[in-house]
Homo-oligomer: A and B are copies of this chain.
């Protein structure tokens, strides 16, 4: 029995006109994703513009989401910052808010740091938080962290040292052989692919699911892949995965956060989806229409 399992959307973060988190719209979006079939929700990941928000904003929004009735046990909270002390405080707050786990980037400012430095960083985080409720997922995304990430020997060292705290990983490198190797090398370690393109492959290899940006739009189809796989209906699972992969490929032709927010605006008619924090720039209406025209509307969300 794993701590987390299945289809997770890396949720967008709705914002108001002043570019503050729009907490009511955020809670509504999370509920919509759960209704569409997500097993859970990763909040404050890359897609959630987490690194454009401050510690204070993330803690406040997280507490308010849970207070407003979003089930904490469905939430995986991104708490990795460059700074050790900030990561510790965010992680504590996420645990206190009742989230099911934390998704933690390696400290990503300094480059070419030795594995020993990443190892010590996570050791400090775990010891300073010192809470047996902590379920930590490593967040591997070297394209965004300038190469700072988790090689297999580092994963092994971390899991051996902190088997109760470090329970899984989100792998967003987009490299299937690597994900497969992690699934095979670390049975019981909860490996999520960072794209639903690898959802069925990951489940078949012994991983637990996917956590993906585009699942903001593909929850239903992703869930069908998952459920057919669980039911042993291989042909149906493969057919759904094929459609899911095609949909993902269409979306990959556009910059992720702008494309997702623009499409949510078209789907919901809520103008608030235009709000986006720099350095990310929203998609212009012409491009948004081009994308929307290419999407299978009936299969979205």
Interface residues on A, range: 35 or more
Return chain B residues, CB-CB under 8 Å to A46: 109-110
Q: Are B55 and A279 in contact (CB under 8 A)?
A: no
| With A82-B82, A113-B279 already in contact, 10 other A-B pairs whose C-beta atoms are closer than 8 Å | A19-B124, A52-B109, A53-B83, A54-B86, A57-B83, A107-B278, A110-B144, A110-B280, A116-B281, A120-B281
A143 within 8 A of B: yes
A295 within 8 A of B: no
Q: Are B278 and A82 in contact (CB under 8 A)?
A: no
CB-contacts of A75-120 with B (<8 A): 81-86, 89, 106-111, 113-114, 116-118, 120
Q: How many identical chains are in the complex?
A: 2
Return chain B residues, CB-CB under 8 Å to A107: 51-52, 278-279
Return chain B residues, CB-CB under 8 Å to A56: 85
Taking the nearest CB of chain B, how far is it from the CB of A141, in angstroms? 10
Known: A54-B83, A57-B85, A82-B82. A279 touches B121 (CB 8 A): yes
Return chain B residues, CB-CB under 8 Å to A106: 279
Return chain B residues, CB-CB under 8 Å to A108: 109
Known: A51-B110, A52-B107, A144-B111. A118 touches B83 (CB 8 A): no
A188 within 8 A of B: no
A187 within 8 A of B: no
Known: A107-B279, A121-B279, A148-B279. A86 touches B55 (CB 8 A): yes
